């Protein structure tokens, strides 16, 4: 899995949805996400859809930026999971 695939997956936005909403070809977009073909127009589309600047995916530090974004998404998911587990296992105890 590429880092871009990981970021998109963590954001919960399927590539087919991005393609449909951005009105671009699914296969060309998928190839870019998988790293098979990196076209600037597709990277711009992905950046725009993810609320990022084009520089985030096109600049020299793109790999570092994407890694940082992935770490942020992991932290968000971890916090959501912590809240859900507290709700399930601690709050239900208090009600008993």
CB 8 within 8 A of CB 15: yes
CATH of the domain at 11: 1.10.260
Residue 60 three-state SS: coil
The residue count for the chain:
96
Domain count, the chain: 1
- The predicted pLDDT at position 91 comes to 87
Domain that holds residue 48: 3-95
pTM of the model: 0.86
Hey, what are 39's tokens?
A: 């076209």
- The per-residue pLDDT string of the chain (96 residues; one tens digit each, 9 = 90 and over) reads 999 999 999 999 999 999 999 999 999 999 999 999 988 999 999 999 999 999 999 999 999 999 999 999 999 999 999 999 999 999 866 655
């Amino acid at each position: 899995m590429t880092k871009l695939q990981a970021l998109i997956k963590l954001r919960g936005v399927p590539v087919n949805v991005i393609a449909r909403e951005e009105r671009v070809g699914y296969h060309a977009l998928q190839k870019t996400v998988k790293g098979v073909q990196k076209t600037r127009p597709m990277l711009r589309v992905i950046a725009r859809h993810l609320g990022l600047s084009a520089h985030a995916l096109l600049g020299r530090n793109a790999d570092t930026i994407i890694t940082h974004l992935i770490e942020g998404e992991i932290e968000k998911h971890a916090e959501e999971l912590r809240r859900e587990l507290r709700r399930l296992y601690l709050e239900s105890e208090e009600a008993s």
